[in-house]
Amino acid sequence: MALPEYRAAIAEPTLPKKLAEPKKGQPEPIGYKVVRDKYVKLEKFAITITLFSALVVLLLSLATQVTLSNQNRALQDLQNDSVAISLENQNLEQEVQELSRYDRIIEIAKELGLEMNEANVRNVTR
């Protein structure tokens, strides 16, 4: 059988002196709590600024993508208009070539009763 003193020591463990709470008469270490609170506030501020900056960058990136998309669409519209106009110009140039054929002009002149005077004809070269 164990001694009663030994049983009491096993049943009621005591905290080591270093981990025991300070007594009411002992002051807390000076400046420790203030410095810790200062760092906590600084960390919260840094995290807030970082999150705010990330949000701003995200929104600016989104706005830039929308602007870029709109500009690309406008560029495609202008390119399509340019292709349509150049196709129309080619068609009109072909029509001009067909209408300005020499035999067609002579035929229209004969229908209108015009005669060709070879002495008054000049050949102009470009």
Q: Tens place of pLDDT for every residue, the chain, 126 residues?
A: 555 565 555 555 555 555 455 566 666 655 555 556 777 888 999 999 999 999 999 999 999 999 999 999 999 999 999 999 999 999 999 999 999 998 998 899 999 998 888 777 777 887
Interior/surface letters 18-40, b for 16+ CB within 10 angstroms, e for the rest: eeeeeeeeeeeeeeeeeeeeeee
Cα separation of 69 and 63, whole Å?
10
30: left (phi over 0), alpha (psi -120 to 50) or beta: beta
Token representation of residue 35: 């410095």
